[in-house]
Amino acid sequence: MDSVRIFDTTLRDGEQSPGFSMNTEEKIRMARQLAALGVDIIEAGFPISSRGDLDAVQQVAREVRTVPIAALARAKQQDVNAAIEALEPAAAPRLHIFLATSDLHLRVKLNMTREQALEAISSMIRLGRNSVGEVEFSAEDAGRTDIGFLCQVCQVAVDAGATILNLPDTVGYAVPDEYGAMFEQVRAHLDDPQGITLSAHCHDDLGLAVANSLAAVRAGVRQIECTVNGIGERAGNAALEEIAVALAVRKESFGVTTNIKLEELFRSSRMLTEITGAVVAPNKAVVGANAFAHEAGIHQDGIIKNPLTYEIMSPESVGVPSRSFVLGKHSGRNALKVSLRTLGYEPSDEELAECYKRVTTLADEAKQVRPRDLVAIAHEVMRRRPAAVAAEASSAV
């Protein structure tokens, strides 16, 4: 099976979003966890942005020796030189050069002609290759770039020495069929050259970042750029955990594997949350608090009988300690019985019925029944048992 490389940009693109800035110590800590997670490349920062970021990239490169380290640079000499300096300690450095290629960006943002852009791309990649063996080129706003010019850009980048071509959906405008078709056209133009990897980098402005990334895989892309928890500019990047699990759960459909250790996903998510203080939404796929929580009675009953009825992967497979049954107004008797047993109670049918009545009444008022609430209800209902039975239930707690 083909392998898709996971290029993690949590420490660069993710950190650029408001409220997610990390100091050097935090970057090193997160980078070590990313290495444990099994990512293939860590983009550690944008060295030209500040001396502190340059130093942070150097420190990550010194501390993390088992994963290639990338640094970002605009197609400008001072950027490339700063990135080269930052990558000097890396065991396996990658220089990541980018330049916007859409006519909108060239005209409005850069005040450049297409010819000037091609010259900058070629000269800066050649400059970088003098010092760093592996150079990636990103055509910023590729999704809105004229396809004929984009093919020309990619050819120039390859001729200059880039071995990874990243065609990002910078503003989250693409839809899956269009994004996949773009890669197919570029591949056809380049005639699938040996030693060149195509890469996808998607933003989530329309909520399609993961879908677009997976469409790119179907189109032959073998590197996906993404972030833990999907953090990043504006609405964020494609979420690493969602891509990794999708490719694993639907392996037969996509026909590819990754090196991601799925059991480290939850730990990675929690570490990032701890570092940034930004909690993921409860309904977030894979790592959200509700990803393996069940309240509806029909779902709870199915899970009790066979988890495959409502879970396409187990919580343990992605590092979540266990699933949970949430007791609320939609819960069923079977889940209540399991919850009572977990707390050490073995209710009779009559006691279960009374507990269920009280739980649903409380849930109507409080929305959710906490474990301590359930203990109080169970104690109140079961204290009327004969002394011997009550003592046995108490010892079980």
| Segment 288-332, tens digit of pLDDT | 988 988 878 888 889 888 988 889 999 999 999 888 877 887 888
Same domain, yes or no: 249 and 180? yes
Q: Is residue 368 part of a domain?
A: yes
Same domain, yes or no: 124 and 230? yes
Is 313 in contact with 249 (CB distance < 8 Å)? yes
Count the neighbouring beta carbons within 10 Å of the beta carbon of residue 298.
Answer: 12
Question: Across residues 369-382, what is the average pLDDT?
Answer: 87
CATH number of the domain that 112 lies in?
3.20.20.70
Q: Is residue 152 part of a domain?
A: yes
Same domain, yes or no: 362 and 246? no
- DSSP code of residue 172: S
Q: Is residue 283 part of a domain?
A: no
- Phi, psi angles (nearest 5°) of residue 143: -60, -25
Give the Cα separation of 5 and 213 in Å (integer).
12
Domain boundary among 276, 302, 323: 276
By DSSP bridging, strand 2-3 and strand 135-140 are unpaired
Same domain, yes or no: 15 and 122? yes
Same domain, yes or no: 207 and 323? no
Question: Across residues 384-397, what is the average pLDDT?
Answer: 48
Q: Is residue 272 part of a domain?
A: yes
Same domain, yes or no: 176 and 213? yes
| Segment 166-199, tens digit of pLDDT | 999 999 999 999 999 999 999 999 998 899 999 9
Q: Is residue 238 part of a domain?
A: yes
Q: Is residue 288 part of a domain?
A: no
Same domain, yes or no: 272 and 304? no
Alpha helices (runs of H) in the chain, residue ranges in sequence order? 24-37, 51-63, 77-87, 103-104, 114-129, 147-160, 176-190, 209-218, 240-249, 251-254, 265-276, 297-305, 333-342, 349-366, 371-382, 387-396
Domain boundary among 251, 276, 301: 276
Q: Is residue 324 part of a domain?
A: yes
Parent domain of 313: 293-396
| Segment 91-125, tens digit of pLDDT | 999 999 999 999 999 999 999 999 999 999 999 99
Same domain, yes or no: 212 and 353? no
pLDDT over 80 at 395, yes or no: no
Domain boundary among 276, 301, 325: 276
Taking alpha carbons only, the member of 195, 144, 149, 148 closest to residue 169 is 144
Query: Helix 147-160 to helix 176-190 angle, to the nearest 10 degrees?
Result: 50
Question: Across residues 23-39, what is the average pLDDT?
Answer: 97
Q: Is residue 286 part of a domain?
A: no
Same domain, yes or no: 7 and 36? yes
Same domain, yes or no: 48 and 169? yes
Same domain, yes or no: 134 and 264? yes
Our count of domains for the chain comes to 2
What pLDDT does residue 385 have?
A: 59
Give the Cα separation of 60 and 32 in Å (integer).
9
The two three-digit tokens of residue 257, written as one number: 């594997």
Same domain, yes or no: 234 and 330? no
Question: Across residues 221-250, what is the average pLDDT?
Answer: 97
Give the Cα separation of 210 and 277 in Å (integer).
24
